[in-house]
Amino acid sequence: MDSVDIQADLTKVLHTEAEIHTRIAAMAREIEADYPGENLLLVGVLKGAVMVMADLARELKLPINMDWMAVSSYGAGTQSSGVVRILKDLDSDLSGRNVLIVEDIIDSGLTLTWLLGNLRSRGAASVEICALFRKPLAAKVVVDVRYVGFEIPNDFVVGYGLDFDERYRNLRDVAVLAPHVYS
């Protein structure tokens, strides 16, 4: 789906599909330089990270494995509480592995802070984070993120895997959702 197909639901396109692909390629070059000859384990956080994972994994000129986790934050409404429940755990043993968490977006930072601690306690050789988007103005905790695609304003965004009520994940671009859609 393209932004023009749902123009009325969006206020602004923040990053086009082409910009995202260019940025992911640049991040892949950084990752390749940091893990020469390593067999990296990419851990995607369902469901939002599906698109980033698919594009980053194919762009990387490194042997990789892919695994997935699904987590949910307890708490009211759309605000992340930092108390996280595992809905689907990894299939892989992390002992001695170099792990790269692949995330769509860092908002408050609470979910990733918890995830980083959880995965680091499993005996991995290293655990780092690659997030396509970060909202610096929404940060409640500082997360040690090794690779960030784009810093974006503190607006609710959809597309490229990001949803509102499970919609818009298949939008190619990333765009700000118009307030009339959610209010």
Binding site for ligand XMP (CB under 6 A): 48, 80, 103-112, 156-158, 162-163
For residue 111, the partner it binds in Mg ion, ligand XMP, none, with Cβ less than 5 to 8 A by kind, is ligand XMP
CB closer to ligand XMP, 60 vs 84: 84
For residue 106, the partner it binds in Mg ion, ligand XMP, none, with Cβ less than 5 to 8 A by kind, is ligand XMP
User: What CA–CA distance (Å, rounded) separates 53 from 178?
Assistant: 27
Minimum CB distance to ligand XMP, residue 110 (Å): 4
CB closer to ligand XMP, 35 vs 161: 161
CB closer to ligand XMP, 9 vs 104: 104
107 included as an active-site residue: yes
Q: Which of 107, 163, 165, 173 is catalytic?
A: 107
Minimum CB distance to ligand XMP, residue 162 (Å): 3
48 is a contact residue toward Mg ion (CB under 5 A): yes
Beta bridge partners of 66: 42
User: What CA–CA distance (Å, rounded) separates 37 from 15?
Assistant: 32
Which residues have a catalytic role annotated?
Answer: 107
| Binding region for Mg ion (CB under 5 A) | 48, 104
